[in-house]
Amino acid sequence: MTPALAVPTAVVDLLVPAPLSAAAVADRAVPTALVVVARQPLVTSPLVRHLAEQHDIDLTRVAGTGTGGAITRHDVENASRLAGGPLHRTNRPTSPRARRLATQLGVDLARIEHGSGPKGSIIGADVLARPRPDSKTPRPLQEVFASDLSPGRDPLRSADAATARTANMRRRTAALMARSKREIPHYFLSTEIDMSEAIGWVRDTNATRFVTERLLAAALLLRAVVIAALEVPETNGHWVDDEFRPASGVHLGVAVSMRGGGLIAPCIADAHTRSLDELMSALRDVVGRVRTGRLRSGDLVDPTITVTNLGDQGATAVFGVIYPPQVALAGFGKIVERPWAEHGLLGVRPIVVATVSADHRASDGQSGSRFLNRIDTHLQAPEKL
């Protein structure tokens, strides 16, 4: 498996504001954000742990949004919802120390079969005896940055180390992108999409919503890409061992720039199962976590397709570099007002240039065109998204 890193070209910010609480710490967290991926929150109340047990949520995979990185009840409920609800219950008693160690070391408590403490509870020694990280679940980023993940070191402590890591990250990005350009025969397509309907619908919808529940146009773009990727399967999957392996669902990579430099493309897993609102919420969460340096391992599974969105500070069009082993990357420029002719009439409309960079080994221009057209079609009927 190869890491999912961002294209070094013009990929910049999404149209997603960071959550208020996250913004306050964003600047401080930025330089070491990638490293912080492994720096899980230490603080969790007994109530939250109980809830996590009920919902079978592995707290090592949940990023805390509470004070000092504490995992809140809301975080667990959110994680449970994203995970599709409780899968199975264990309710195995686990000592506070064992939970702390598991969190720090990234050990999945559910995989420890025998506890050696009172009443069969899992204790610290059981966690320490467990190899880590769990080799059965590939975590590309953690492997790549394994050298940064040794326990007992707080990566935030050393500014020198942070600088070194930033440079390291840049080298790795360079290697990845060079490989992409070397190995993947890219082709590029673009189309202009009228965003009047989409923007109008967003405005009308938001008018009746509470601030925290409001949508951004970016969510519609993502949702349109997800559906289009399902409809045009040759854009969605991986090129491995000289053959294309289409994916059954969509794990959507979202390129996010980090303040202070650097790119990361965390993943919204199983994006095809999420409604527009859920996608919006996931987008908010994942961007917030990037900004606060609290990415969790679930954010780092391999996407099947990636979107890059320049946002309103960007250029009008982006032709990105595909993240190997994916086979397509959708791009959106900033939404701009343009003269627009339709049915013989001229008007001013908000326009976005949608592009796709695709792997010619997996698809051809016809597929790519169909992909862009499907996106366009969906954006003209936003109420159905």
Partner 1 sequence: MKTTYREALRAGLRDALLRDERVFLMGEDVGAYGGCFAVSLGLFEEFGPERVRDTPLSESAFVGAGIGAAIGGMRPIVELMTVNFSLLALDQIVNNAATLLHMSGGQCHVPVVIRTTTGAGRQLAAQHSHSFEGWYAHIPGLRVLAPATLEDARGMLWTALQSPDPVMIFEHGALLGMDGELADDAGAVEIDHAAIRRSGTDVTLITYGGTLHKTLAAAEALAAEGVSAEVIDLRTLRPLDDATIMESVGRTHRAVIVDEGWRSGSVSAEISARIMEQAFYELDAPVGRVCTAEIPIPYAKQLEEAALPQVPAIMAAVHDVLGRMSTSVDGVPVLAETH
Contacts to partner 1 by CB under 8 A: 42, 95-100, 115-121, 123-125
Return the structure tokens found at 101. Answer: 């160690």
Instruction: Give least dist CB 42 to partner 1, A.
Output: 8
Instruction: Give least dist CB 221 to partner 1, A.
Output: 43
Torsion of CA 163, 165, 171, 175, to 10 degrees: -160
Distance CA(206)–CA(231), nearest Å, equals: 28
Instruction: Give least dist CB 93 to partner 1, A.
Output: 10
127/141 with CB nearer partner 1: 127
Return the structure tokens found at 327. Answer: 């086979």
Secondary-structure percent of the chain, ordered helix, strand, coil, rounded to 5: 45, 15, 40
> What separation in angstroms does the CA of 185 have from each of 233, 357, 358, 364?
18, 10, 8, 11
**What is the three-class DSSP state of 356?**
strand
Instruction: Give least dist CB 119 to partner 1, A.
Output: 7
61/97 with CB nearer partner 1: 97
Instruction: Give least dist CB 74 to partner 1, A.
Output: 22
90/137 with CB nearer partner 1: 90
Residue 354 pairs in a beta bridge with 191, 332
Residue 188 pairs in a beta bridge with 357
Instruction: Give least dist CB 151 to partner 1, A.
Output: 15
120/138 with CB nearer partner 1: 120
103/309 with CB nearer partner 1: 103
124/293 with CB nearer partner 1: 124
Phi, psi of 361 (to 5 degrees): -75, -30
